Amino acid sequence: MRLLSRKASCNTHGQDSSYFLGWQEYEKNPYDEVKNPKGIIQMGLAENQLSFHLLESWLAKNPDAAGFKRDGKSIFRELALFQDYHGLPAFKQALVDFMSEIRGNKVTFDPNHIVLTAGATSANETLMFCLAEPGEAFLLPTPYYPGFDRDLKWRTGVEIVPIHCTSSNGFQITEAALNQAFEEAENRNLRVKGVLVTNPSNPLGTTMTSNEHNLLVSFIEAKKIHLISDEIYSGTVFTSPGFVSVMEILKNRNYDKFSEVWKRVHVVYSLSKDLGLPGFRVGAIYSNDEMVVAAATKMSSFGLVSSQTQYLLSAMLSDRNFTKKYISENQKRLKKRHGMLVSGLQKAGVSCLKSNAGLFCWVDMRHLLRSNTFEAEMELWKKIVYDVKLNISPGSSCHCTEPGWFRVCFANMSEETLELAMQRLKSFVTEYNRINNSNKESSAKNSRRRSLTKWVFRLSFDGADRQPEER
Catalytic residues: 145, 230, 232, 273
Cβ contacts of 220-223, under 8 Å, gap ≥ 24: 220/194, 220/195, 220/261, 220/264, 220/265, 221/261, 223/182, 223/192
CB environment 108-144: b (16+ within 10 A), e (fewer): ebebebbbbbbbbbbbbbbbbbbbbeeebbbbbbbbb
372 closest CA partner among 418, 405, 416: 405
Instruction: Determine how many CB atoms are found less than 10 A away from the CB of residue 398.
Output: 23
In angstroms, the CA 108 to CA 96 distance is: 7
The kind and range of the H/E element at 297 are helix 290-299
- Sign for the pseudo-dihedral over CA of 454, 458, 461, 463: negative
Helix runs in 161-264, H state only = 175-187, 210-223, 246-252, 260-263
- Sign for the pseudo-dihedral over CA of 452, 457, 463, 466: negative
Total residues found in the chain within this entry: 471
Phi, psi of 393 (to 5 degrees): -105, 120
Instruction: Determine how many CB atoms are found less than 10 A away from the CB of residue 374.
Output: 18
Is the separation of the CB atoms in 270 and 284 below 8 Å? yes
What are residue 195's DSSP bridge partners? 139, 227
Three-state DSSP at 32 gives: strand
Helix-, strand-, coil-residue percentages of the chain, each rounded to 5: 50, 15, 35
Burial of residue 351 (CB within 10 Å: 0-12, 13-18, 19+) is middle
Is the separation of the CB atoms in 300 and 85 below 8 Å? yes
Instruction: Determine how many CB atoms are found less than 10 A away from the CB of residue 39.
Output: 15
92 closest CA partner among 313, 247, 379: 313
Three-state DSSP at 181 gives: helix
Phi, psi of 412 (to 5 degrees): -105, 20
Which amino acid is located at 458 in the chain? R
